[in-house]
Amino acid sequence: MKPKAVIIGAGVGGMCTAALLARAGYHVTVCERIDTVGGRTRTQVIDGLRLPRGAVSFQLTGALPKLCEEVGAKFELRPISKTWFWLRGGDGFVELPERGGIKKMLEMFAHVHGGNKAGAMTQVGLQMAMAKIGKAFKNPEGAADDAGGPTFREWLSRHTDNEDLLALFHAITSAVSAVNDFEYPAHHWFAHFSQAAMDARVDHFGMVAGGFEAVSQALADVVRECEGEIRLSTPVRSIQFENGRATGVVIDDGDGGDELLKADVVVSNAGPRATLGLAGEGALGAEYTQRIEARIKPVPIVLTFAVSDEPLFEPYASILAAGLERVVTAMPLTNICPEWAPDGRHVMSFYGTPKSCLEPLDHEDERRANIADVHALFPDFEAKGGRILDVQIRDLNDADVVARAWPGQHAPVTTSVENLFNVGDSCAPDGFVATPAAAMSARLAVDKILAGASAAPANETMEGR
């Protein structure tokens, strides 16, 4: 008889875990509270348009595509791998080199900042500042790996006071991590941009023709092919325990009653904090509980959709913007996937990092600032028939926050119960964020499950992370 695994949640982390375990010979049951797979990467329909609620870019190399290839998950990818840069005060949009890292970014910045039109002394000062930053990056002293370490903005300010350079790195930091550079620990910035975390970097990327939820749908097909189950509209009420082990979950049976699903292993893609709630008071131990509650904090975001009669932006590419009030990146969705707007309208998504990622958001101010940034990026917005379709403010308590934990402050996949695991974007190694983090967490959890590894003691599971 096959060993049984129950997966709580059909987001990317849960579906990656489910597909890996199904291919490994487990009977897998996925329980999802809403009526579709994909979690925060599902598709939404607004004014007849099919739009991404979460992730847009799919990396073409790294943890997630490797995992999908391994299990045989099939979906249509449309490569992009181009990014254009916009800087307030510059001359418009400039195409970035496809690869090259920070050095190329700085070279491009010098060009955008003024090139031959800038005064000689301005150019000399800019080049000196960039050289100083480049040298500091090679040996980032002072970016301590502890709670008292500096934020990335504090660290960078030791090496330059150039406001435009600071704006550039704010845009880079926010685009990658969704956290403000003045709130983001410097150590974790360097962890992400280190060679060790290259798999998490989106240097080569594309979009999924069916929307990012098509990735989870393809993984669900793998589970079904292996005779597993995907139970939609099936909330999990609790995780059951006996003699220090998880024995299954209690679900809503659809008729107002309860149903017990027994399992040899339980994997939660609901987020570490939600897992605590499902486990019940005391089930995971006071020390583990306190560490999770102190460590895990969500990341808010503001997502703005705009629709226009003419394209606001022509290239088959993404946008990185520096010097705006909130918006740091944007994607011309229908340039790549025109079928998402069946009547030929043109849709763009804009992603804004809030004024603070630590405090509840001022919704009125966030809406104002993000809409103003759209108009700043595209002064011809109204001339091209542009209108704001929707402004979605994902606050700290929203179920669809952009991330369930700050980069570098993730939980381990193991818990204090040996056969209960967490997966998702909040449970990956340093340097991994978003969907690559979810895929990596699935890989780590499944490796431990298949190896029969026991969880580390609660006071060790988060050490050094």
Q: Mind listing the pLDDT tens digit for each residue in 309-321?
A: 999 999 999 999 9
The CA angle 285-28-70, to the nearest 5 degrees, is 105
- Let me know if 141 is exposed, middle or buried by CB neighbors in 10 A (0-12, 13-18, 19+): exposed
Per-residue pLDDT, averaged over 42-62, amounts to 92
Q: Considering only residues 100 and 229, tell me which one the structure prediction assigns the higher pLDDT.
A: 229
Q: Are residues 184 and 358 in contact, defined by beta-carbon separation less than 8 angstroms?
A: no
Q: Which residues contact 107 (CB under 8 A, 6 or more apart)?
A: none
More confident residue, 96 or 368: 368
Q: How many helices (H) and strands (E) does the chain have?
A: 13, 20
The answer on pLDDT for 120 being more than 60 is no
**pLDDT tier at 75 (50, 70, 90 boundaries)?**
very high
Tokens describing residue 130: 């960039």
Which long-range contacts does 375-382 make (Cβ < 8 Å, 24+ apart)? 376/88, 376/324, 377/86, 377/319, 377/321, 377/324, 377/327, 377/330, 377/350, 378/312, 378/313, 380/312, 381/306, 381/308, 381/312
Residue 70 carries which side chain, given as an amino acid letter? Answer: E
State the pLDDT at residue 208. Answer: 96
Condensed to tens digits (0 to 9), the pLDDT of residues 315-343 reads: 999 999 989 999 999 999 999 999 999 88
- d(CA 101, CA 110) in angstroms, rounded, equals 15
What SS3 state is found at 246? strand
| DSSP symbol at 202 | -
Q: Which amino acid is at 108?
A: M
Q: Is residue 43's pLDDT more than 90?
A: yes
The full DSSP string for 44-72 is: EEETTEEEESS--EEESSSHHHHHHHHHT
**Cα–Cα distance for residue pair 446/440, rounded to 1 Å:** 10
Written as one letter, the residue type at 300 is P
| pLDDT tens column, 171-199 | 888 888 889 999 988 887 777 666 444 44
Strands 346-352 and 327-331: antiparallel
- Does the pLDDT at position 427 exceed 90? yes
Q: Average pLDDT of the chain?
A: 86
Give the pTM: 0.89
The pLDDT tens digits for 345-363 are: 999 999 999 999 999 999 9
CA dihedral 201, 395, 441, 264 (to 10 degrees): -160
User: Between 142 and 422, where is the model more confident?
Assistant: 422
Show the domains of the chain with their CATH numbers. 4-77+210-296+406-451 (3.50.50.60), 102-196 (1.10.405), 299-394 (3.90.660.50)
